[in-house]
Amino acid sequence: MGLFTNKDKACPICGNGTPRLFATKIEGTPICSNCNDKILADNGIVNNWTLEILKEHLAYRNENKKLVENFTPTRTVKHEREMVIDDVNQLFYFKSWVEDNPPVFKFSDIMGFNIQLAYDTVETWYKGMERTPYQPMSNGLLAGISVLAGLAGIDKSDKDESVYENLKVMLQIDTPYLHEYELCSISVSGQNQAAYMDDVARQMSKVHSLCNLLIALTKEADKSRGNRKNGF
Ligand SMILES: [Zn+2]
């Protein structure tokens, strides 16, 4: 409230004041930040929404919240973020610090994933494909060089530069509003290129188990679909 909200321009969803600056606009009408925070959709698509679509979306998000609140996990798997799985109903979501309403996905929503290192896509997997895991070690001799340099006691620090990058896993999913979702973003770094590649290799082991789990979930979804088809 106050300086930054505009009481005269009420949010068409809930009637609250809307931000004077940088408000999300639907059909040219600003919506309040509270309603805006509830939106979880692909980048850019909100711009083309009508109020009717926004209302449907918020109802969908509300249903999602109920799913999270009533979630009965059969297991949780800790990666960078905790993955909460309900094997009975074939649902999962990722816990996060910021969202109190993380999207709940069905196993059958998983379409694929890709792994991004810095700005490069280093691995892509689609449902039904054999996975060819990204192997940073085989990518070059850098890691080997680092080990050898370490064994030989060579201090390369004078000519090396620190490297900081991000290792991300992006999930491709088939849901009405969201088609891509960031599963994790891990900082990888090293005092030089070789140490950096070592760290990438280390972090990749976490990423591999997450990716293999995703693939296992799609197989579970296919199996139960097959069973239904065969009348089991
Ligand atoms: Zn509102």
Of 55, 70, 85, the last residue of a domain is 70
* DSSP code per residue over 63-117: HHHHHHHT---SEEEESSSEEEEETTTTEEEE--SS-SSPPPEEGGGEEEEEEEE
pTM score, two decimals? 0.83
What are the pLDDT digits (tens) for 6-60?
777 899 999 999 998 889 999 999 999 999 999 999 988 999 999 999 999 999 9
Of 41, 39, 35, 45, nearest in space to 12 by CA: 35
For residue 79, how far is its CA from the centre of ligand 1 (angstroms)?
35
The answer on 150 and 126 residing in a single domain is: yes
What are the pLDDT digits (tens) for 211-225?
999 999 999 999 988
The answer on 187 and 160 residing in a single domain is: yes
How far, rounded to the nearest angstrom, does the alpha carbon of residue 36 sit from its chain's CA centroid? 20
Of 70, 65, 71, 53, nearest in space to 13 by CA: 53
Of 45, 70, 95, the last residue of a domain is 70
Residue 160 DSSP symbol: -
For residue 38, how far is its CA from the centre of ligand 1 (angstroms)?
10
Residue 193: pLDDT band (50, 70, 90) is: confident
For residue 13, how far is its CA from the centre of ligand 1 (angstroms)?
5
For residue 134, how far is its CA from the centre of ligand 1 (angstroms)?
44
Q: Is the pLDDT of residue 232 over 60?
A: no
pLDDT at 107: 98
For residue 90, how far is its CA from the centre of ligand 1 (angstroms)?
33
pLDDT at 99: 67
For residue 37, how far is its CA from the centre of ligand 1 (angstroms)?
9
| Packing angle of the helix pair 142-151, 193-229 (nearest 10 deg) | 130
Of 70, 100, 131, the last residue of a domain is 70
What are the pLDDT digits (tens) for 121-180?
999 999 999 999 998 754 455 556 556 666 666 555 545 789 999 999 999 999 999 999
